[in-house]
A and B are shown apart, each in its own frame.
Chain A
């Protein structure tokens, strides 16, 4: 079930380094929000903060609140493992588990959470692979290793794997940057379909991609190297690309940046 996501005054640190400063934004359910901005401006860091993947790195910490339908994922006593079950993530590089077959990769999340029912696992595997538009390509080789698929197929396998645990929100960290244009198109089409069931946040370096797939776009920037990254503006995608409020956004979008 898609849920609404709010970030309230989020500050992110790596040790003493202030990486991202004071981000507040709202992501409505059943929508796609794109994070754009130059390298190093903290978009991926913000994304990883949403499902508490950020704190896996030693010394990393977060201030502020990340609310999922009003409930703080950083609240006292909240289990980060639970948060990650609810907020799924797809990474930049396809990373299927090399020891597992295609089917086992898809249901890895459920299996490792202790689901044993074979029929249910098989059913979920099919549903997730269909949702990821991969079913027809792999239906006759579900028991083959996932590492044998092409890059684009592997990435859709990873999306299927993330979808299979039925999260409320799907975070995507540059999911197409390692893929060719045709695979990219396949994944972009998929994103528009997944919107029906999930709330989606996607980080991308490709502005056309942001314009194609997203409902709202957030532009992040750095004032200078060494300064923390910040959210410059967030608005409807059409508005950001046609008529941004901030000068920096316009410069970045039109390529006049830096």
Chain B
């Protein structure tokens, strides 16, 4: 007996994407896009505002070559080279201390710590230090460097506070970058009869270098914008002071803080000018980091 079938005997192997999945996909895509916009819009807004108010200030050549020395608060003109000098030297001195310390602690944790007690304690301390607010670091340096040891308030004291903020960031970056270097490479090097320290210096660190450099540059950009240590540890000077160890010294965040109290158009201009200058400096550092990272990056082809 034959029977006609009104549908195929076997259901098809493949079916179209179900409506539920399609909807969930749409929803997730919409959420991700919205989150992206939510993150990008304020960023662009900040950049736009800083550029809008700052561009006309920083495009004058005096801005980069003069200080604010001798200018009355309502007088337009002058520049912030004294503050650029302060910010850069304080950051540089901070980097000179922080980079070696941070790198070596990171190397110790990954290459030598080997789950020892010291490693655990160090990791814990670094975690705590990462969470210390900059004002606390500043007050600590004030208590130690100025109250107990008797040194004057100075740009160098600021650098010391910045070291406290920068070291844990560098330790963390170094640690993470070294940990992702495959153990195969270390073993390959040992098997060639290369001592451990040389393996670390010549194989492990070069492999992780681009990540470490990026981390250091980002940390540097971060500390350049720190304001609390400046307020606590050094007085603002509208003129150039080359001496990092004595006397009031300007820095870009300090220009912004002090000009914010100046209600004249000249003050507003200086504030936005200093803001844009700081953003430009930090952008420059980030670009530098990208270039260095790209040059030391691992080449596949």
**Residues of chain A at the chain B interface (Cβ within 8 Å):** 51, 53, 56, 58, 81-86, 88-89, 91, 93, 95, 97-99, 108-109, 112-113, 144-145, 147-148, 158, 161-162, 165
Report whether B191 and A147 are in contact in the complex, using a CB–CB cutoff of 8 Å.
no
Report whether B206 and A113 are in contact in the complex, using a CB–CB cutoff of 8 Å.
no
State A93–B193 Cα separation when bound (angstroms): 19
Cβ of B3 under 8 Å from chain A: no
Q: Which of A83, A88, A147 contacts B192 (CB 8 A)?
A: A88
B181 → chain A closest CB, angstroms: 9
Report whether A147 and B300 are in contact in the complex, using a CB–CB cutoff of 8 Å.
yes
A25 → chain B closest CB, angstroms: 21
State A245–B129 Cα separation when bound (angstroms): 65
15 contacts between A and B (CB under 8 A): A56-B190, A82-B193, A86-B193, A88-B192, A89-B191, A97-B185, A97-B189, A98-B300, A112-B194, A112-B202, A112-B203, A145-B300, A148-B301, A161-B192, A165-B193
Report whether B192 and A108 are in contact in the complex, using a CB–CB cutoff of 8 Å.
yes
Leading 4 A-B pairs by shortest Cβ distance: A85-B193, A109-B192, A89-B191, A95-B184
Report whether B191 and A112 are in contact in the complex, using a CB–CB cutoff of 8 Å.
no
Main secondary structure on B side of the interface with A: helix
Report whether B191 and A162 are in contact in the complex, using a CB–CB cutoff of 8 Å.
yes
Binary flags per residue of B265-301, CB closer than 8 Å to A gives 1, else 0: 0000000000000000000000000000000101111
Report whether B193 and A109 are in contact in the complex, using a CB–CB cutoff of 8 Å.
yes
List the A side residues contacting B198 at CB < 8 Å: 112
List the A side residues contacting B299 at CB < 8 Å: 98, 145, 147-148
A141 → chain B closest CB, angstroms: 10
State A68–B34 Cα separation when bound (angstroms): 68
Binary flags per residue of B234-254, CB closer than 8 Å to A gives 1, else 0: 000000000000000000000
Cβ of B127 under 8 Å from chain A: no
B199 → chain A closest CB, angstroms: 8
Report whether A145 and B194 are in contact in the complex, using a CB–CB cutoff of 8 Å.
no
A212 → chain B closest CB, angstroms: 25
Report whether B203 and A84 are in contact in the complex, using a CB–CB cutoff of 8 Å.
no
State A147–B206 Cα separation when bound (angstroms): 15
Task: Give the residue name and chain of the A residue nearest to B301 (CB).
Answer: A148
Binary flags per residue of B19-49, CB closer than 8 Å to A gives 1, else 0: 0000000000000000000000000000000
A78 → chain B closest CB, angstroms: 13
Cβ of B188 under 8 Å from chain A: yes
State A200–B114 Cα separation when bound (angstroms): 33
List the B side residues contacting A85 at CB < 8 Å: 192-193
State A93–B115 Cα separation when bound (angstroms): 27
Cβ of B207 under 8 Å from chain A: yes
B107 → chain A closest CB, angstroms: 17
B116 → chain A closest CB, angstroms: 9
A160 → chain B closest CB, angstroms: 12
State A91–B183 Cα separation when bound (angstroms): 12
Report whether A112 and B189 are in contact in the complex, using a CB–CB cutoff of 8 Å.
yes
B194-214 contacts to A (CB < 8 Å): 194-195, 198-199, 202-203, 206-207, 209
Cβ of B182 under 8 Å from chain A: yes
List the B side residues contacting A81 at CB < 8 Å: 190, 193-195
Q: Which of B114, B115, B207 contacts A98 (CB 8 A)?
A: B207
List the A side residues contacting B206 at CB < 8 Å: 99
Report whether B189 and A99 are in contact in the complex, using a CB–CB cutoff of 8 Å.
no
Report whether B187 and A147 are in contact in the complex, using a CB–CB cutoff of 8 Å.
no
Contact A53-B191, Cβ < 8 Å, known A58-B114, A97-B203? yes
B153 → chain A closest CB, angstroms: 45
Report whether B194 and A99 are in contact in the complex, using a CB–CB cutoff of 8 Å.
no
Report whether B187 and A91 are in contact in the complex, using a CB–CB cutoff of 8 Å.
yes
List the B side residues contacting A53 at CB < 8 Å: 187, 190-191
Report whether A113 and B193 are in contact in the complex, using a CB–CB cutoff of 8 Å.
yes
B167 → chain A closest CB, angstroms: 26
Q: Which of B182, B190, B298 contacts A99 (CB 8 A)?
A: B298
State A31–B209 Cα separation when bound (angstroms): 42
Report whether B207 and A158 are in contact in the complex, using a CB–CB cutoff of 8 Å.
no
State A13–B199 Cα separation when bound (angstroms): 26
State A234–B300 Cα separation when bound (angstroms): 43
List the A side residues contacting B301 at CB < 8 Å: 144-145, 147-148
Task: Give the residue name and chain of the A residue nearest to B205 (CB).
Answer: A99
State A93–B203 Cα separation when bound (angstroms): 17
Contact A95-B202, Cβ < 8 Å, known A85-B193, A112-B194? no
